[in-house]
Amino acid sequence: MEYSKLAEFYKKIEETTSRIEMTNALVELFKSTPKELIDEVVYLSIGKIAPEYTGLDYNFSSKSAIKALSVVLGIDEHEIEKKVIETGDLGEAGYQLYQEKGIQPKEKLTVEEVYNTLRKIAETTGYGSTKKKLELFVSLISKASPLEVKYLLRTIIERLRLGIGDNTIMDALAIAFTGSKENRTYIERAYNLTSDLGYVAKILVEEGLEGVKKIKIQIGRPIRPMLAERLSIPEFILKKLGGKAGAEYKYDGERIQVHRKGDEFHLFSRRLENITHQFPDLIEFMKEAIPEECILELECVVIDPSSGAIQPFQMLMNRRVKYVTRFHIMMYPVAGFIFDIMYLNGQDLTLKPYPERRKTLEKEIKITDRINLATRKIVDNTNDLEAFFHEAIENGCEGLVCKSLAKDSIYQAGKRGFLWIKYKRDYTSHLADTLDLVVVGAFYGQGQRAGYFGSLLMACYDPETDQFKTVCKVGSGFTEDDFKKLDELLKPHQIEHKHPRVNAILSADIWYEPYLVLEITGAELTLSPVHTCAWDKIKLNRGLGLRFPRFTGRYRFDKKPEDATTEAEIIEMYKNQIQIKI
């Protein structure tokens, strides 16, 4: 398969402003892909070479990419840098320079060659790797056309900026290989159990939908996490859960999915990055405490080992380093509070109800100083729920996660639902809870901030339509440092026009690929003629907007854009707010 096909596909995606067109382009691409290449094309379509959990990254700087261009074009690096500044984008600079030089390759680049070389680049580490990576990349771009070099450059520095989401890929796979979008359910279940769309696509192409239905949990492949809805009134929580719930402390730490087979451990973050190397101490503690073959989930927190007291979330951030040393382990000692088990000795437990999974945990986990179960209480009245909530807060937790005890209380991999309801209260604002919103655009500031952005256009996520819908324009709560940091974080994700998955009425000065999630607080949710969240759902020609929004200072790097607060959650919050007022 020729790589030019992929380059044309990227171009089409970049030009489109419609999600349907985006899906159609993917369908076309997948249909024209030879069977044996489908997994590679799925990864490359989003600029990757492997699923995220493998941690395989190119680790290739823009500086190296400029050097590679200079070798191939035989011009000075400064000249290339000038072009990058002029065009604002390395890919575009490469494209223009190739055109100016009239470069047209004699040989055609194939997808196989591109994939294999990119993979080699990612796998090259250690001493002398920068030089080796450079040589490999030079060999690749010396065979590229102007359009191909544009996307190879963006791929290698991980700035493809197409914003294709998992749901769009799954829709396209279902349409391309089963003829109907309806079959996405099966693809989605398989993906939720394995977190590897390339692998699911391969099985789909080779063994059909029946093969996909047989895909099972595997140790080493993370399960996509189950997520909680939110409610802030105890009466509503109990009502939603049928009058009775398993209330667990909501620890404010880092969610970790643990996979164990004998001495082999894999630790995955909430975003499913491989973080095994970050917690050697936790692994040691678990060797004594958890079954030899299992997959479970815990919240990891920093504690004071002498008292066992939970330390604030910020302390744990000190463990987010590339190399964990004895210093980190001593200064920031961690403990794990296990709250679920999804797999035990070859058996998938995800379809068992929560009370059964909890019983399994109680039977299988040996409690130690550092490994414990999430504190839990069965509650059936609001007084007990309130009292337990305050007890959780006093013990350094964020609140509670109230869990359904019903027969159908399965582990809903990759889904946000009301089987788990989080109950947090933010006393500092009138709004019952904070919102995690995605930056989709920005507006230029005035006065001192003229020429820079002064406020950001923020959106929630709607999984039904796979769209990001706007909720507010936020300009307060940012420090000068925040503005600088945001500028750096957002620049690589700037795009020419509104992203096809963004649904907005307001016209931003700058548009971004949905990427960065920020925690936002505000006074209240009100009907809005300019925001598209809940459009027509509460009142005709009105959406919901957040009044007096403010950045809390918390960057949610642990959340992908699709993990942002959902439209359904915001509607629920709006309705609760009205009931409180009444």
Footprint on residues 253-292 left by ligand AMP (CB under 6 A): 255, 270
Cα 169 from Cα 26, distance rounded (Å): 7
Pairing of strands 254-261, 293-304: antiparallel
Size, binding site for ligand AMP by CB under 6 A: 13
Binding to ligand AMP by residue 227, rule CB under 6 A?
Answer: yes
Binding to ligand AMP by residue 461, rule CB under 6 A?
Answer: no
Would you state the structure tokens that stand for residue 356, as one six-digit string? 């059964």
Q: Which stretch binds ligand AMP (CB under 6 A): 178-186, 187-195, 200-208, 244-252?
A: 244-252
424 catalytic? Reply is: no
Q: Which stretch binds ligand AMP (CB under 6 A): 89-97, 105-113, 250-258, 477-485?
A: 250-258
Binding to ligand AMP by residue 567, rule CB under 6 A?
Answer: no
Q: Which residues contact 45 (CB under 8 A, 6 or more apart)?
A: 6, 9, 26, 29, 164, 169
Footprint on residues 404-433 left by ligand AMP (CB under 6 A): 422
Helices assigned H by DSSP within 332-444: 354-364, 382-394
Cβ-based nearer residue to ligand AMP, 67 or 255: 255
Q: Where does residue 385 rank: exposed (0-12), middle (13-18), buried (19+ CB within 10 A)?
A: buried
Cα 9 from Cα 22, distance rounded (Å): 10
* Residue 554: φ, ψ to 5°: -100, 115
Q: Which stretch binds ligand AMP (CB under 6 A): 84-92, 95-103, 245-253, 286-294?
A: 245-253
Q: Which stretch binds ligand AMP (CB under 6 A): 20-28, 159-167, 242-250, 475-483?
A: 242-250
The minimum distance between CB 201 and ligand AMP, in angstroms, equals 27
Cβ-based nearer residue to ligand AMP, 97 or 349: 349
Binding to ligand AMP by residue 228, rule CB under 6 A?
Answer: yes
* Residue 424: φ, ψ to 5°: -120, 160
Beta strands in 91-231 (DSSP E): 227-230
Binding to ligand AMP by residue 568, rule CB under 6 A?
Answer: no
Binding to ligand AMP by residue 569, rule CB under 6 A?
Answer: no
Q: Which residue has the tokens 């299988």?
A: 364
Encode burial over 66-94: b for 16+ CB neighbours within 10 A, e otherwise. Answer: bbbbbbbbeeeeeebbebbeeeebbbbbb
Three-state secondary-structure class, residue 502: strand
Contact residue for ligand AMP among 109, 247, 401, 460 (CB under 6 A): 401
Is residue 398 within 8 Å of residue 390, measured between CB atoms?
no
The minimum distance between CB 248 and ligand AMP, in angstroms, equals 4
Cβ-based nearer residue to ligand AMP, 12 or 255: 255
Binding to ligand AMP by residue 248, rule CB under 6 A?
Answer: yes
Catalytic residue annotation: 250
Instruction: Give the interface with ligand AMP as residue ranges (CB under 6 A).
Output: 227-228, 248-251, 255, 270, 299, 339, 374, 401, 422
